Amino acid sequence: MKKTTNDWLTWIELDEKAYAHNLAFFRQKIRPGVELSVVVKANAYGHGLRPIVTLAQKYGVDSYCVYSLDEALALRAWGIEKDILIMGPVPPARLDQVIRENFRLALFDGQTLAKLDEATRRLNLPVRVHLKLETGTFRLGIGPKPDELEPFLTRLRQSPLIQLEAAYTHFANIEDTTDHSYAFQQLNRFKKLVTYIQKAGFTNLKLHTACSAALLLFPETHFQMVRLGLSQYGLWPSRETLVAYQIKKVNNNLPVLQPVLTWKTKVSQLKLVPAKETIGYGRTYQTSRPTRLAVLPVGYADGYDRRLSNQSYVLIRGRRAPLRGRVCMNLIMVDVTDIPGIQIGEEVVLLGQQDSESIPAEHLASLIGTINYEVVTRLSPHLPRIIVNSDNKKI
């Protein structure tokens, strides 16, 4: 029997129309023929891998980027036949699965290249690799000096079943600033490394450098493929990215990005607390007046950060209800004294919009000293996720 929101204490709703709008917006930002690849790693940035892939398929993305082999295998198990790039390390013992499933594989170290060569020869099957070039982020990648590539390229020439399909890089500082000079230094390093690779005989490469911020701001980073991550979900990579976008005075008739995710719960209990009583663990909040509390069945076990204690608010009937006391493992308490008529079972928004009020991921991030990426990505995988239209009709 299919469950509904009546069966859940807390759940996440994904707005299909918002997701469709965001994809359409980014599709028109790129040239015809440029591959639009959506990044769905980390449970689709906390939004839910399966429902997001369902929407991505429906609205015609070209390919997928994931972090792990297990994520890629999940997509295949759900019938996804489009190309999938695995961007993270794969244990050598599991390279056979990469080859058999015809996944694209990010390549960034010689040991993996040697193991991959051995596996392709043993299976007599080809594999497509995307060479990850180090241009200044100093995470995964080869470089930044061209001569560091030579041993790699030599081994690739000797590996007939390893097909070098693409080369790519990732920007270190394109989101956190409105001064993008370092990003362009990286872009120039990337171009030099690509020229070196092409002169070594590897031509017709697919190139990709653009994350969401680069896709929004710099068409010269689009090349033959873009990797659309956070912003497919309607979130800006940073305030600086939004400011830079506004400075460019990009004209668009529609709202640029529409958040896809709303996190909801219900009132479990209501109680009247006298003045001068303390609430919750550690007695961190004392009432200054008779206070009506609503107890909500959600806590840090669900991804509602404990640092939000006594800081944030939730939305009930389109009004703000502030947190009182510490966030518990499974419960929080909010003050509904000034919101008359609240009933047990009433719907509450923890993250997202209700009527004219909203709680953006950026607001929660600012309260706990982090970024919107972390706020949504840390939402527990055990939370039910459902797709809704903008009118909340389930699909």
Domain positions in the chain: 31-247, 261-388
Those residues whose C-beta lies under 8 Å from the C-beta of residue 84, and which sit 6 or more positions away, are: 63, 64, 65, 66, 72, 75, 76, 103, 104
Q: How confident is the model at residue 181 (pLDDT cuts 50, 70, 90)?
A: very high
At 324-361, the pLDDT tens digits run 999 999 999 999 999 999 999 999 999 999 999 999 99
pLDDT on residue 393 = 53
What mean pLDDT value characterizes the chain? 95
pLDDT at residue 391 is higher than 60: no
Among residues 362, 351, 353, which one has the least CA distance to residue 238? 362
CA 264/CA 159 separation, integer angstroms: 52
pLDDT at residue 312 is higher than 80: yes
Other Cβ atoms closer than 10 A to 118: 13
What's the whole-number mean pLDDT along residues 120-128?
A: 98
What's the whole-number mean pLDDT along residues 270-276?
A: 98
Q: Measured in whole angstroms, how far is the alpha carbon of residue 333 from the centre of its chain? A: 29
What would you report as the CA-atom Rg of the chain, rounded to the nearest whole angstrom? 24
CATH architecture of residue range(s) 261-388: Beta Barrel (2.40)
At 191, list the tokens. 């171009």
Using a 10 angstrom Cβ sphere, with 0-12 exposed, 13-18 middle and 19 or more buried, the burial of residue 4 is: exposed
pLDDT on residue 395 = 46
CA 68/CA 393 separation, integer angstroms: 33
From the list 19, 29, 41, 132, the catalytic residue is: 41
Let me know if the fold of 31-247 is the same as that of 261-388: no
pLDDT on residue 1 = 57
What's the whole-number mean pLDDT along residues 265-282?
A: 98
Using a 10 angstrom Cβ sphere, with 0-12 exposed, 13-18 middle and 19 or more buried, the burial of residue 320 is: middle
pLDDT on residue 176 = 87
Using a 10 angstrom Cβ sphere, with 0-12 exposed, 13-18 middle and 19 or more buried, the burial of residue 364 is: buried
At 69-114, the pLDDT tens digits run 999 999 999 999 999 999 999 999 999 999 999 999 999 999 999 9
Q: How confident is the model at residue 302 (pLDDT cuts 50, 70, 90)?
A: very high
- 58 part of the active site: no
CA of 196: how far to CAs of 128, 157, 186, in Å?
A: 20, 15, 15
CA 119/CA 122 separation, integer angstroms: 5
Which of residues 393 and 110 earns the better pLDDT score?
A: 110
Q: How confident is the model at residue 179 (pLDDT cuts 50, 70, 90)?
A: confident
pLDDT on residue 377 = 99
Which of residues 146 and 38 earns the better pLDDT score?
A: 38
What's the whole-number mean pLDDT along residues 200-206?
A: 95
pLDDT on residue 255 = 60
What is the CATH code of the structural domain delimited by 31-247?
3.20.20.10
From the list 17, 145, 271, 281, the catalytic residue is: 281
pLDDT on residue 252 = 54
What's the whole-number mean pLDDT along residues 224-230?
A: 99
pLDDT at residue 40 is higher than 70: yes
pLDDT on residue 201 = 94
- 281 part of the active site: yes
pLDDT on residue 31 = 96
CA of 57: how far to CAs of 41, 52, 324, in Å?
A: 16, 9, 42
